[in-house]
Amino acid sequence: MVVAGCVTPSIPIPPPDPGKMTFHVAGGSGSGATGTATFSYPADPAYKGAVVYVFDQDLGEGVIEAAGVDGAFPETQPFPAVLGNQVLVTIQREDQSEATCIVLQDGMQSSTNVCE
């Protein structure tokens, strides 16, 4: 006997858009000085139930936080960061994940500020 079922295909989540990322950086602008940063991202229905990993690749430290019910990532807890470092932002929902690497600047990021 063959049983037919309906399998809903999974819609891929989009990679995080640098133009929607906001970082607030405190300290870390002097030679060798480490400061802190927070990350936020506006609501996106594709990110409902997702988790964000924000990781300063040069320092090897970061933060992990869950999205709000609207798919937004409100301001995270501060994590160690330095202006100009490469920061990897990974959003994971269920078995999917997408990442974008940016060169950290204070405030809104831009698509021209991605890692090489």
Write the DSSP string, 64-87: EEE--TTS-BPPPPPEEE-TT-EE
pLDDT attached to residue 28 = 64
Interacting residues of 30 by C-beta distance below 8 A, sequence separation 6+: none
Q: Is the pLDDT of residue 102 over 60?
A: yes
- Four-residue CA torsion sign, 52, 47, 92, 105: negative
Q: Give pLDDT tens digits for 30-78.
A: 566 789 999 999 999 999 999 999 999 999 999 999 999 999 999 999 9
CA 85 to chain CA centroid, nearest Å: 15
pTM of whole model > 0.85?
Answer: yes
Structural contact between residues 108 and 25, judged by C-beta atoms closer than 8 angstroms: no
Number of separate helices (H) and strands (E) present in the chain: 0, 8
Structural contact between residues 42 and 71, judged by C-beta atoms closer than 8 angstroms: no
CB atoms within 10 A of CB 21: 23
Structural contact between residues 25 and 42, judged by C-beta atoms closer than 8 angstroms: no
